[in-house]
Structure 1
């Protein structure tokens, strides 16, 4: 380490990307300090993926209990208790936070619970006034909810607060229709909320395959979730608390198209924006784009050579595994003499809706824009259990294939267990699997996954040669 610096690496932000980068850099012998002003684990662990998945688990018991009688179980009348779920979630998050703290300590990373601001290209000032000189600085501060300006917006909540509500919302209005909105809509409806989604677009989940978008919109409508398309929230207003003081104030929701809705809570899920305000980036010359994201090269390096950024703060692909991989690549490359870069092709992702969405690779429209010949295989399958339960919902399977090379370009699923299945299928895509490879595989029966091997004939072929 140079005598000009107190440490080799200073990490700003203790989320998934920052924690991985700090631990790996320390394992390579670097002296590392990490500053996190809140709790270790960041959005994913504390107020995102992990608590959301726990709530999703809770939401699925309702359907399971309803269907249990069809399979011979005698179930007494169940009762859902919201405070018990919140308390269970808090215990698990605290446990995970402790694991992260012990992991950093074991690796030799010094963690300071403080806000950090850049003073110059090598100096970071902590909230207590201390200044630390570092040879390399990594920004991993993630993102925060994006909130548009409209009257009464302070009456709404973001996903950060949704996990800690004191009272369960019997009526929930959700603004937005992306990952967060659709996941919360599904889980709150399954727990007993009357849910309305207000979506400014012509359909939900912008950027996903069109068949998947249609499938989830239809499924949610059939479950009783109301979806207002081509509309936006214009105003929120609070009505008075009931005279006996037992009922909290109702929120009056007015939309651009004139809809009037009553809600106990309004969840604002309009997306997320890079968390770069107040970091001192302008002072040291770190360039950002129009959204505030730090502009980086393929090695996560910013416009200042010794300052790097990983995760949502650089706004590339805003997924926890991507942030972790970026942090690992940075640490190996800068401190481990093992340079490598993150490959952003064929990144799998899941939406923990009801049912789930799993997707990897190109959508049909993306493939048609890039390839001369595209074969599309798709099927809608009624799950085996539906033969007993009478459930009318169907699962969707879709393969997008290069019609000339036979290589699988994309897989899109809407089905229970899609998140687990898409992880395995992403390995096949990354390995260059073809449709013929899929068809040569022996099926496992009876499973939902075997239906992929029954897609023998293209549903449609697009040929612009």
Structure 2
């Protein structure tokens, strides 16, 4: 059977673009890609990249204050949101254009349209065009989930924060995951009075317990009005003001309400169920270790599969798919050991098992230290950093590392290499410290603080 393309990719985010580029540019496949919004996906257009730029912007206020302790005569005149927004928009336009050039240079045909799957080898666009392909890859990502009560009130999500015309004076963040906590810190750093509600007992569920607690402490010390064990019971809007009543009886008025209460895979309306593609409870596309669905010609990568919802994972999955299917170089992505960073203030970096999870697997030793970072301690700040290693008592392998500190994301990337190679505690001990840096604490902890 003759096909229009060897591969048709639905979704122009990080995973889909990588798969298309490798399949076409390195393996010579005939590839087309459909994207209904903007190339770059969640990460580039409404996620990681604009968020990290906002993190940088929000941190300058504290840096300006600290600079005075170092002898600099500086003054603050307030944050200019419109000026930042204009520069941010220009940067995202530049990145999107770079993505498009990458696809063009690889020979990928891009269709700016929504696509659905009619049969295992046919894609139909909302323009009315139909194309056939030997293989179809779904890389449509995910979207914010908003409960019905909040959706009716017209609340915002992380998608809309980057498009605000002006910063609110009072903002409510609902949620306790990394997106909620990051935006709480960002807006607080930009001068917004931030309240945060989370229904669980502690923010950042799934991360190390002590690291979560220290982040929560820092957030409260920075002025964020953080409440756990608390959810929204009623919400209404009157003009530009939202009135919120919580499950524990408190109420408040806000200029902006942002929900960050989880995400759902973008699998709706693609025609998958009729084809026999299995969907999970959350709407995720069920795939095997090769990213293949129950329909042999249809694959899926990235957040739409709800495996590990991180941009570098989607990129790796897309690359593995292209090499396997078109490059005669089969390989699978290992999802068992993935480092992550939470861009709160301070940051948190994590790799491997938490102390809680490691305890359930066998005897462990916990090495930990907390200290005041030199840079901010000199400026009279009371913030604390934490370094923590989880070690298997039998094999001496380092099972996990958790860092709460400025630039924790940069540190955890390098620690992940060592842990991925199976480094033992003695390997860390043999490493001579670099002084004076925060990360030297990772190789100077000699005695465990506790065993379990």
- Flag whether TM exceeds 0.5 (same fold): yes
Are the counterparts in 2 of residues 153 and 236 from structure 1 also a CA contact under 8 Å? no
Distance 1:229 1:296, change over 3 A: same
TM-score (norm 2): 0.98
d(CA) in 1 for partners of 2:389 and 2:249? 40
Deviation at 1:177, TM superposition (A): 0.8
> Secondary structure of the equivalent of 1:155?
coil
Spell out, residue by residue over 1:93-146, the C-alpha distance to the aligned partner (whole angstroms, 9 max, x if none).
000000000000000000000000010111110011111111000000000011
Spell out, residue by residue over 1:166-196, the C-alpha distance to the aligned partner (whole angstroms, 9 max, x if none).
1101111011010110100001001001111
- Residue 265 of structure 2 corresponds to residue 274 of structure 1: yes
Choose 317-326 or 257-266, whichever is displaced more.
257-266
- Residue 140 of structure 2 corresponds to residue 150 of structure 1: no
Moved runs in structure 1, 4+ residues, more than 3 A? Answer: 151-154
Deviation at 1:381, TM superposition (A): 1.1
d(CA) in 1 for partners of 2:71 and 2:272? 63
> Secondary structure of the equivalent of 2:226?
strand
Are the counterparts in 2 of residues 151 and 234 from structure 1 also a CA contact under 8 Å? no
Number of aligned residue pairs: give it.
Answer: 451
d(CA) in 2 for partners of 1:283 and 1:154? 34
RMSD between aligned residues: 0.9
d(CA) in 1 for partners of 2:152 and 2:436? 50
Are the counterparts in 1 of residues 64 and 76 from structure 2 also a CA contact under 8 Å? no
- Residue 389 of structure 2 corresponds to residue 391 of structure 1: no
Gaps of 5+ in 2: none
d(CA) in 2 for partners of 1:278 and 1:386? 51
- Residue 261 of structure 2 corresponds to residue 262 of structure 1: no
d(CA) in 2 for partners of 1:253 and 1:51? 28
d(CA) in 1 for partners of 2:206 and 2:96? 33
Choose 78-87 or 151-160, whichever is displaced more.
151-160
Question: Where in structure 2 are the equivalents of 1:423-462 lying within 5 Å?
Answer: 423-462=413-452
Are the counterparts in 2 of residues 198 and 231 from structure 1 also a CA contact under 8 Å? yes
d(CA) in 1 for partners of 2:274 and 2:179? 34
Question: Where in structure 2 are the equivalents of 1:106-185 lying within 5 Å?
Answer: 106-150=105-149, 153-185=152-184
1:14 corresponds in structure 2 to 12
TM-score (norm 1): 0.96
Distance 1:151 1:29, change over 3 A: closer
Spell out, residue by residue over 1:334-393, the C-alpha distance to the aligned partner (whole angstroms, 9 max, x if none).
00000000011220000011000000000011111112x100011111111233211111
d(CA) in 1 for partners of 2:126 and 2:377? 61
d(CA) in 2 for partners of 1:76 and 1:457? 45
Deviation at 1:152, TM superposition (A): 6.3
2:349 corresponds in structure 1 to 358
d(CA) in 2 for partners of 1:381 and 1:403? 25
Spell out, residue by residue over 1:396-426, the C-alpha distance to the aligned partner (whole angstroms, 9 max, x if none).
1100000111100000000001000000000
Are the counterparts in 2 of residues 10 and 134 from structure 1 also a CA contact under 8 Å? yes
> Secondary structure of the equivalent of 2:374?
coil
Are the counterparts in 2 of residues 152 and 236 from structure 1 also a CA contact under 8 Å? no
Spell out, residue by residue over 1:311-340, the C-alpha distance to the aligned partner (whole angstroms, 9 max, x if none).
000000000000000000000000000000
User: Which of 403, 409, 419 does residue 413 from structure 1 map onto?
Assistant: 403
Deviation at 1:153, TM superposition (A): 3.8
> Secondary structure of the equivalent of 2:131?
strand
